C-alpha cells in the first residue's frame, strides 16, 4: 500500500470514551480494506482516551492523532474533513464499532457505477439495544429493506425513509469533493448537540446516492437516562427548525421529502413529550411552532403517522378535531415490521400492543 494515497479517510472524533475506544479502533484497524487513513481527533478528553489513541498509533502507522482543546463534535469533524486526503470520507463515533467489510464493500458497490457521478454511498446499520448489558440485542435499523429506488444513483425523494428515522450519518461514505463543492460542513455547536441533523439534510438533499442494503455499522443506542438532559431543552425542536430552514433554502418541495421530514419531527415531538409532559406550556409552545411550519394536508394524509399523532397535531394547533381510522395504519405497520424485523418479532410487537 502507498500510504500517501488512502482510498478512505476515517474520521474518529473522541471525547471521554475510554470505555469503548479500544473496540472502536480495533474494528477500524481490522477493516478488509487496508488503504485507509484513520484520523483520530481528541477533543480535550479528560479521561484515558488520548493514551489509548497514542498506543494504537504506535502500532499502526495509518493512525493520525490530533490532540486539541475541546471545541465540540461539529468543529472536530470539520477539522478531520479538512485533513482528509482520500476521495471518500467515513465517520465513526468512538463508542461504536464497524464490521470488517464495510469500507471495501461500499467501494465495491460504487465500482458498479463507474461511469456515474456518486456523492454518497449509503447503507443501513445495526442497532445495539441495551448495550453492554445481559439484555443486549442487535437489531436492524428502521429503513433496512425500505430503500428501493427505481434508478441508481438516485435522489433522496426516491428513498425518503433515509430522512425519516435516526440521521445515521456514519453508515455511509461521502465524496470529499462533493462536500467541498456544496460547502457542506457541520454546525459547530458546543458539545455534540445533534450536529448530525443539519448535516443529514445538507448531504442527502443534494447528493446522488447509491445504496447497499447490508448493515456494518454497530450503533450503541443511548439509554433513556443519557438523553434526559437533552430532551428537557429545546434542542429537538431547534434542530428540526434548522433542518426546515435548510430544506427551504435548498428549494426542496417534494411531498415525499417533506413527509419524511415531518415524520422525524413527530418523533422529536413524541420523545420530548415523554420527558416534558403534554401539558407543559413550554412544550406546547415549541410543538406549536414546529407544527405551524408543516403543510396540514401532508400531515393528515401521511401514511406512516399514527391516528393519535394526527389528533395531537390538530389539538396543539387549536384546529377542529377529526376522526381517523386506526385499521389502515395498523395494516401498514404490520407490513412494515414484517419486512424490517421478520415474522417472529412482528408477532411479538403485536402481542405487546394488545397487552397495552
For Cα atoms 255, 258, 264, give the angle at the middle one, nearest 5 degrees: 140
Which residues are 125's β-sheet partners?
A: 217
Q: At what angle do helices 235-249 and 224-231 cross, to 10 degrees?
A: 70
pLDDT, position 271:
82
Q: How far apart are CA 189 and CA 88, in angstroms?
A: 25
pLDDT, position 274:
83
Q: Which of 123, 122, 121 lies closest to 140 in space, CA to CA?
A: 123
Quickly tell me which residue has 403517522 as its cell: 305
pLDDT, position 105:
98
Contact 236, 223 (CB under 8 A): no
Parallel, antiparallel, or unpaired: how do β-strands 63-68 and 172-175 relate? unpaired
pLDDT, position 356:
47
pLDDT, position 353:
56
pLDDT, position 16:
95
Which residues are 220's β-sheet partners?
A: 128
pLDDT, position 355:
56
pLDDT profile of the chain (356 residues), mean per 10: 79 96 98 98 97 98 98 97 98 97 97 95 96 92 92 96 96 98 95 90 98 97 56 81 97 97 94 86 95 98 92 96 75 65 68 57
Pure H helices in 277-356: 281-291, 296-300, 307-316, 327-355
Contact 244, 144 (CB under 8 A): no
The DSSP code for 158 is G
The reported pTM is: 0.90
Q: How far apart are CA 20 and CA 31, in angstroms?
A: 18
Q: Which domains does the chain have, with CATH numbers?
A: 8-221 (3.90.550.10)
- What cell numbers appear for 156 in the block? 433522496
Count of other CB atoms within 10 angstroms of residue 282: 11
Amino acid at each position: 500500500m502507498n500510504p500517501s494515497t488512502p482510498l478512505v479517510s476515517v474520521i474518529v472524533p473522541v471525547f471521554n470514551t475510554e470505555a469503548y475506544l479500544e473496540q472502536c479502533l480495533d474494528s477500524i484497524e481490522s477493516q478488509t480494506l487496508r488503504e485507509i487513513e484513520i484520523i483520530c481527533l481528541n477533543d480535550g478528553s479528560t479521561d484515558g482516551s488520548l493514551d489509548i489513541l497514542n498506543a494504537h498509533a504506535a502500532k499502526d502507522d495509518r493512525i493520525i492523532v490530533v490532540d486539541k482543546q475541546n471545541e465540540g463534535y461539529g468543529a472536530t469533524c470539520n477539522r478531520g474533513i479538512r485533513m482528509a486526503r482520500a476521495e471518500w470520507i467515513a465517520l465513526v463515533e468512538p463508542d461504536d464499532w464497524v464490521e470488517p467489510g464495510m469500507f471495501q464493500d461500499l467501494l465495491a458497490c460504487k465500482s458498479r457505477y463507474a461511469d456515474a457521478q456518486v456523492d454518497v454511498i449509503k447503507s443501513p446499520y445495526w442497532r445495539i439495544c441495551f448495550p453492554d448489558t445481559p439484555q443486549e440485542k442487535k437489531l436492524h435499523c428502521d429503513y433496512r429493506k425500505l430503500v428501493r429506488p427505481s434508478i441508481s444513483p438516485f435522489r433522496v425523494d426516491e428513498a425518503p425513509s433515509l430522512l425519516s428515522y435516526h440521521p445515521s450519518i456514519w453508515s455511509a461514505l461521502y465524496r470529499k469533493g462533493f462536500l467541498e463543492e456544496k460547502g457542506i460542513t457541520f454546525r459547530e455547536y458546543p458539545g455534540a448537540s445533534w450536529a448530525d441533523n443539519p448535516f443529514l439534510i445538507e448531504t442527502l438533499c443534494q447528493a446522488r446516492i447509491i445504496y447497499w442494503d447490508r448493515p456494518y455499522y454497530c450503533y450503541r443506542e443511548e439509554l433513556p437516562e443519557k438523553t434526559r438532559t437533552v430532551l428537557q431543552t429545546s434542542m429537538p425542536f431547534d434542530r428540526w427548525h434548522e433542518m426546515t430552514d435548510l430544506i427551504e433554502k435548498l428549494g426542496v418541495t417534494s411531498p415525499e421529502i417533506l413527509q419524511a421530514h415531518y415524520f422525524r419531527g413527530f418523533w422529536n415531538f413524541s420523545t420530548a413529550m415523554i420527558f416534558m409532559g403534554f401539558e407543559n406550556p413550554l412544550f406546547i409552545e415549541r410543538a406549536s411552532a414546529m407544527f405551524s411550519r408543516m403543510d396540514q394536508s401532508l400531515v393528515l394524509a401521511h401514511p406512516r403517522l399514527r391516528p393519535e399523532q394526527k389528533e395531537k397535531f390538530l389539538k396543539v394547533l387549536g384546529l377542529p378535531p377529526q376522526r381517523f381510522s386506526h385499521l389502515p395504519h395498523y395494516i401498514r405497520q404490520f407490513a412494515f415490521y414484517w419486512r424490517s424485523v421478520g415474522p417472529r418479532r412482528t408477532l411479538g410487537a403485536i402481542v405487546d400492543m394488545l397487552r397495552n
